[in-house]
Chain A
Amino acid sequence: MNKVRVFCCVLLALPVLAVAHHSSAMFDKEQVRDEMATVREFQWTNPHVWIQVTLESAAGEQEEWSIEGLGPNSLFRNGWRPNSFKPGEIVQIRFNPMRDGTNAGGFIGAKFADGKTLGNWQ
């Protein structure tokens, strides 16, 4: 279920952390990871929201990842809510991983069990 897929082309044009309060150069925009993840915590905070998720590594181990989103204000105006991600929930999530292999990434989009999506989901 936690199979890692790396997209190469279609999603590259999607804006990632387009209005971040910091540089987004640490994220590899040429890599998109598409994962089934379990939400551990959703930090609805400034200057960025963070989605803490658990992923299964290639070695089959459970790893925690920090997925960084935009600020809560702009996200709220785009339909997000403080409880958009619920602890324990399983979601399909896409993100640009960090270049140096750190377990973190820049949020692109998410699809929930009921079919609803957030972010860029094409």
Chain B
Amino acid sequence: MLSRTAADALRALIERRGSSTINDPFGMLRIGLMMKTRLISIYLLAASLSGISVQADELPDWSGVWQRFEGNGGIFDPATVEPADGRAGSPGVRQYPPLTRAWEDKYAATLELVAQDRVPDPISICGTPAGYPRMLALPDVYEFIVRPEQTWIITENGPNILRIHTDGTEHPPPEELWPTFTGNSKGRWVGQTLEFTTISMIGEAHTILDRSGLTLSDQATVATRMYLTDEGLLRAELVIEDPLALAEPWHVTRHFRRLPEGTRAYDYACAENNRNPITSSGQTLTLDTDGNVIDKVIDGEVIE
């Protein structure tokens, strides 16, 4: 729309100036300067009409490559994890979101399987992304690409891409939404803070929040605020609501630290050489270089 408007303006300007001006090099220079001014004006007008609330030079510097700041092996809510140094997926390690009774029972049953190392992590099969909000708690590195109309959060691990529209548009109507791994995110810039809401996430059907097996339903919504702290960390404050899984809003805070300049992200092709397939019972197997299973015990049965 913007380019068509600019083209129309250029055409009208040349028509008004007439062909004689085209033969005048200084006239062309004047036209160029006028066009630059007009294009800027047109862009600003289009931006204000489209709902974009910020200019590119007003955006914060989130450039570079980042890494999750919190440890605990990717536990999603480090503030409630017990024991405090517990790692996601280790027996006896859990967190305490305000779960409903039904979801607490579900989590407790899952933790029993975790103790037996029988909780298959969806991302271990190298087939599907981690989804939102788990993608804020992944290993490897992150990139945050900010533009006035959209922000992209890219995780090397997976990879995952979260697209956050800040162009003033609203979430699509229900008939145009279906559950996806990252859902649908709409937001805005408030000063140097990115605020967005995410809906229509696929939930427990194909995602977990971490290797402790915690899940949300596909009715969850996440309100996220992201901003740079005085210490230079990128802070993400989440308020998660879920009429099925949560008895009250769940507040989770995570941080990212910027890695030294020159650090790069690379391809993560999980299926390239995945020598750890998962059995139907959740056991992680090991393959040799020819693709043969070399485990000596599979699902409790000793392999001769």
Query: Does A26 belong to the interface (CB within 8 Å)?
Result: yes
B211 touches A23 (CB 8 A): yes
Q: Which B residue sits closest to A24, measured CB to CB?
A: B89
Interface centre among A41, A47, A50 (most CB of B within 10 A): A47
CB under 8 Å from chain B, chain A span 15-33? 18-19, 21-26
Measured CA separation A68–B264 after assembly (Å)? 23
Known: A47-B274, A72-B266, A73-B156. A23 touches B89 (CB 8 A): yes
B140 touches A46 (CB 8 A): no
Query: Does B123 belong to the interface (CB within 8 Å)?
Result: yes
Known: A22-B124, A47-B274, A66-B286. A73 touches B294 (CB 8 A): no
Q: Which of B117, B211, B270 contacts A26 (CB 8 A)?
A: B117
Query: Does B57 belong to the interface (CB within 8 Å)?
Result: no
Q: Which residues of B contact A73 (CB under 8 A)?
A: 140-141, 156, 265-268
> What's the dominant secondary structure at chain B's contact region?
loop
State how many residues of chain B have any CB contact under 8 Å with chain A: 38
Known: A41-B289, A46-B269, A47-B126. A102 touches B294 (CB 8 A): yes
> What's the dominant secondary structure at chain A's contact region?
loop
A47 touches B289 (CB 8 A): no
Q: Which of A22, A43, A101 contacts B121 (CB 8 A)?
A: A22
Known: A26-B286, A46-B270. A21 touches B123 (CB 8 A): yes
Query: Does B1 belong to the interface (CB within 8 Å)?
Result: no
Query: Does B284 belong to the interface (CB within 8 Å)?
Result: yes
Known: A21-B123, A21-B270. A52 touches B289 (CB 8 A): yes
A48 touches B297 (CB 8 A): no
Measured CA separation A41–B288 after assembly (Å)? 12
Measured CA separation A98–B157 after assembly (Å)? 25
A98 touches B286 (CB 8 A): yes
A104 touches B156 (CB 8 A): no
Query: Does B139 belong to the interface (CB within 8 Å)?
Result: yes
CB under 8 Å from chain A, chain B span 259-303? 259, 263-270, 272-276, 278, 284, 286, 288-289, 294-297
Q: Which residues of A contact B288 (CB under 8 A)?
A: 64, 66
Give chain B nearest CB distance to A39 CB in angstroms.
Answer: 13
Give chain A nearest CB distance to B280 CB in angstroms.
Answer: 15
Query: Does B86 belong to the interface (CB within 8 Å)?
Result: no
Give chain A nearest CB distance to B74 CB in angstroms.
Answer: 8
Known: A45-B272, A52-B289, A104-B286. A19 touches B126 (CB 8 A): no
A46 touches B268 (CB 8 A): yes
Query: Does A83 belong to the interface (CB within 8 Å)?
Result: no
B-to-A contact residues, CB < 8 Å: 73-74, 89, 117, 119, 121, 123-124, 126, 139-141, 156-157, 211, 259, 263-270, 272-276, 278, 284, 286, 288-289, 294-297
Q: Would you mind naming 11 contact pairs between A and B with Cβ atoms under 8 Å apart?
A: A19-B140, A23-B284, A26-B117, A26-B295, A43-B273, A46-B267, A46-B268, A46-B272, A74-B140, A100-B297, A102-B296
A-to-B contact residues, CB < 8 Å: 18-19, 21-26, 41, 43, 45-48, 50, 52, 64, 66, 68, 71-74, 76-77, 98, 100-104
